[in-house]
Amino acid sequence: MNIRTAEQLSDKLSSDLFWRKRELTEVKSLVASKTVSEQRHRALIRSGVCILYSHWEGFVKLAANSYLEYVRLQRLTYRELSTNFLALAMKQRLNEAKDTNKPSLYIPVCHFFLSELDQRCSLPKDMISTASNLSSEILKEITDLLGIDFSHYSTKSVLIDTKLLKTRNEIAHGNYLIFDREEYMELHEEVIKMLDLFRNQVENAAIRQEYLKPSP
């Protein structure tokens, strides 16, 4: 479904986050159970960390690209875009010029800024990537491209990079790590908070039309 309205965007994010939270709640209840063996309990926690990470990365990628789709379908001109979305629209042209020593390839770029800003913008589809490793650095890049505030995550870099991403990578690569019940419960709650925060930021950016160039 094409995402043409802020309501459609909100519905998309809500429905996607619903099933993710439901699955995470099921895993949390299994981890919280004290009726399983210690060995099974450790296996549940290790599996749970991987699932927590996958839903964190998966939702950020889906929400970011859904917002990009929404902006793409607003039928705006390049001149109307905020600088972050103009940069996204220009990325391919700028990359072509950057990857060569031929100054002549900058001529179309200059022509664009002089003559084509009033044309309808063409934003790429599904351009936002997590690189399959959603570190705090990559998250900042994504928030910068979307024009949303990263400061809410700046105090969570250790949680994102170490407790979530590094632990998931260690488990996924077959290393044996012990992650206790309390650590998992804390990580679960923090991930849920970040999921809700990212959804709210994207929805608010759409409602407030933060994708538009500020009025002078």
What is the pLDDT, as a whole number, of residue 216? 73
Average pLDDT, the chain: 89
Residue ranges of alpha helices (H) inside 73-131 are 83-98, 107-115
Q: What is the pLDDT of residues 122-142, one digit of tens each?
A: 888 888 999 889 999 999 999
Tell me the longest C-alpha to C-alpha distance in the chain: 70
> What global pTM score does this model have?
0.90
Given pLDDT bands bounded at 50, 70 and 90, which one contains residue 98? low
Closest C-alpha among 77, 64, 58, 57 to residue 9? 64
- List of residues 6+ apart from 85 with CB closer than 8 A: 71, 121, 123, 147, 211
Q: What is the pLDDT of residues 170-208, one digit of tens each?
A: 887 776 667 788 899 999 999 999 999 999 999 999 999
Map residue 77 onto helix, strand or coil.
strand
Percent of the chain predicted with pLDDT > 90: 60
Which of residues 68 and 177 earns the better pLDDT score? 68
Catalogue the E-assigned strands of 44-199: none
Query: Over 90: is that where the pLDDT of 72 sits?
Result: yes
